[in-house]
A and B are shown apart, each in its own frame.
Chain A
Amino acid sequence: MNTSSVALDKPAETPRAKAGSGDIAVCNAAVRSTAVRRTRFYAFGLLPVAAWGLLGAITLFWPDKPSGFAEEWPCTREFGAGALTLAAFWLLLAITASFSSLPRVIERINAGFRHFAPWLIVLPLFLALWEILTAKTGALAPPFFAPPSSLIEAYRDDYARLADSAWNSIKLLLEGILWGALTGFTIGVAIGWSQRINYWLHPFLRFLGPLPPTALLPIAFFFFPSSHSASVFLIALATGFPVAILSWSGIASVNKAYYDVARTLGASERFLIFRVAIPAALPQVFVGLFMGLGGSFVVLIVAEMMGVKSGLGWYLEWAKGYADYVKMYAALILMTFLFSGLISLLFAVRDRMLVWQKGIVKW
């Protein structure tokens, strides 16, 4: 009995010694919480509830300031009701997160809620500020500014055109990226491997590579049979250049001892390229793909704004024509999710292919 009480005291003793004087109360609380932690109420979880409730209340009960366009902004009620619904949902999570030994799925949801709780406080406060500055006080005036609630209307009324634009953008983008990545990778590996190919291709890379593909846009639209093929070419160019350069540098920086090892083991030239050089260069290739992806987004949007008759870039121009800035915001937000999603996808592929690497950056 005696020994066990000593053992129980020990963990409480150590933090106290570390924390220094004046922390005895904290320590006692910690000891108590280990005993009753299982049923402690998750008080911090109430803050997201309060923040979303505040957003809902402001949206619903603070009347909109009439502007030249309308007495009231559309979808204010829906927005407010949505905020209150979320507040109720967070309350539910805050309660379940206070209990332990729940089913695994709910435990995971609770863990997610605890992780994102700080963001779930900041986000509604930001939305509330935005709503106040636009709809409620008119400090940021239409048509260039619109309240977040009006975005709901834009998505609701124009979802078909937006979805179609997004789909066309993705198709065009992926086609261009695929060609660009394949060509860039092949060229990069070839000039990294062969002196002769390097001699002939290096000047092209050196002079054409730094040229912004968007500068070629007018000419490309003229030379290619369709604006689609011209855009594919330019997106491929934007993707291909960094991929080629980094594949090349990846191949060039492969530890020469790897080749020695493989050659003494009886490797052919083919084996050296495909089983030694390329796997060793892959980390660099992925850096190139990441950079190329960024470049391809730029070209995609500019090309769609200038010539292609569909896609999110075209949608931006189209909305501008009607001075419908709400729709522009809606398209921009959709774009951020789309592009961020593509980069997440690339990183997921990389993480799978480069599991052997230590400490790679998480996106």
Chain B
Amino acid sequence: MVKANTLRADSPSTFPQEDAEKAPFHGTSGIVLDQVCHAFDAPASRLDVLRDVSLAIAPGEFVALLGPSGCGKSTLLRLVAGLERASAGTITQDGAPIDHPDPSRIVVFQDPTLFPWRTVWQNVALGLEARGVLKQEKARVDEALCKVGLESFAHVYPHQLSGGMAQRAALARALINQPQLLILDEPLGKLDSLTRMEMQGEILSLWQKNGFSVLLVTHDVEEALFLAQRIVIFSPRPASILAQIPIDRPYPRHRGDPILANLRHEVLNRLGLGESW
């Protein structure tokens, strides 16, 4: 109960109060991190990466993680994806512990990591093929390609794509399994600023149409403000949560919105960059 209370205090806007109080912690739906700690066994000493991170992501919620470079946000994503196991604490999805990767939680990395030996179509089909259902559900590949506007590039190899198109293909590949949670690890970090804005709009519309939750790591404060319903700010390594800032602005948002500008100031303050405002 104590745990649930602290959690609720951290995220007042998104977590329904009754849920947190009535239901035991593990009964909560969505992704829940409970006092997660993680450390790497570095050759010389243990390297603490995460310290006591408690966080909940409700179904359909868009949460952005901000923090200094190298603080351990990406590690957190890997834990949530199930690619690694936390040293301590629990991570659950709809009450069940996360201990291995699952198609319901898909990661999109900073690099598109398309398989160069497969065409765009074959890359997008990967999720169906891996689960052995490609034959029955072939149409969904074309559908996913349409969603990201790559239908005319289906039979092209990744090295022939631009950075933005490659990242779109990666998004299509992620969405093919109809995930409940999309984990985005700085997915737009390597794109030029115009393509990035365009892609932000696309991520937003995919999220609104498909109803999955999004966990986004980014270095771009404006991107976080433009996209997310809540921003979680991390301390330098070992990462712990410094603050959670709800963004109660309706979509579509306007990049010049003065309220967002104020929030930006607040976020930068929390990150220790207030003077640069």
Chain A residues at the B interface, C-beta cutoff of 8 Å: 255, 257-258, 260-268, 271, 275-276, 279-280, 282, 354-358
Shortest Cβ distance from B159 into A: residue: A358
B116 touches A264 (CB 8 A): no
Inter-chain CA distance A268–B131, complex, in Å, is: 8
Knowing A257-B113, A276-B115, A279-B117 are in contact, say whether A267-B83 is a contact too (CB < 8 A).
Answer: no
Closest CB-CB distance, A257 to chain B, in whole Å? 5
Closest CB-CB distance, A32 to chain B, in whole Å? 42
A279 touches B115 (CB 8 A): yes
Closest CB-CB distance, A265 to chain B, in whole Å? 4
Shortest Cβ distance from A257 into B: residue: B113
B116 touches A357 (CB 8 A): yes
Over the window 115-159 of chain B, the binary record of Cβ atoms lying under 8 Å from chain A Cβ atoms (1 yes, 0 no) is 111110000001101110000000000000000000000000111
Shortest Cβ distance from B113 into A: residue: A257
A257 touches B101 (CB 8 A): no
Inter-chain CA distance A293–B83, complex, in Å, is: 40
Shortest Cβ distance from B114 into A: residue: A261
Closest CB-CB distance, A208 to chain B, in whole Å? 32
19 contacts between A and B (CB under 8 A): A260-B81, A260-B101, A261-B115, A261-B126, A263-B83, A264-B105, A264-B107, A265-B130, A265-B131, A266-B101, A266-B102, A266-B177, A268-B130, A271-B130, A279-B115, A279-B118, A280-B117, A356-B116, A356-B119
Apart from the given pairs A264-B102, A264-B106, A275-B129, 16 other A-B contacts in the complex at a CB distance below 8 Å? A260-B101, A260-B107, A261-B107, A261-B113, A261-B173, A262-B130, A264-B82, A264-B103, A265-B103, A265-B127, A266-B127, A266-B130, A266-B177, A276-B115, A355-B157, A356-B118
Cβ-defined partner of B113 (8 Å) among A255, A268, A279: A255
Cross-chain pair count, CB within 8 angstroms: 71
Shortest Cβ distance from B127 into A: residue: A265
Shortest Cβ distance from B119 into A: residue: A356
Task: Verify if B111 is at the interface (C-beta below 8 Å from A).
Answer: yes
Closest CB-CB distance, B145 to chain A, in whole Å? 16
Instruction: Number of B interface residues at 8 Å Cβ cutoff, please give it.
Output: 28
User: Which chain A positions have C-beta within 8 A of B113?
Assistant: 255, 257-258, 260-261
Knowing A257-B111, A356-B157 are in contact, say whether A266-B103 is a contact too (CB < 8 A).
Answer: yes
B111 touches A260 (CB 8 A): no
User: Which chain B positions have C-beta within 8 A of A261?
Assistant: 107, 109, 113, 115, 126, 173
A267 touches B159 (CB 8 A): no
Inter-chain CA distance A282–B116, complex, in Å, is: 12
Inter-chain CA distance A277–B82, complex, in Å, is: 21
User: Which chain A positions have C-beta within 8 A of B119?
Assistant: 356
User: Which chain A positions have C-beta within 8 A of B109?
Assistant: 257, 260-261
Closest CB-CB distance, A278 to chain B, in whole Å? 10
Cβ-defined partner of B101 (8 Å) among A255, A264, A275, A356: A264
Inter-chain CA distance A279–B117, complex, in Å, is: 7
Shortest Cβ distance from B131 into A: residue: A266
Closest CB-CB distance, A283 to chain B, in whole Å? 9
Inter-chain CA distance A326–B127, complex, in Å, is: 63
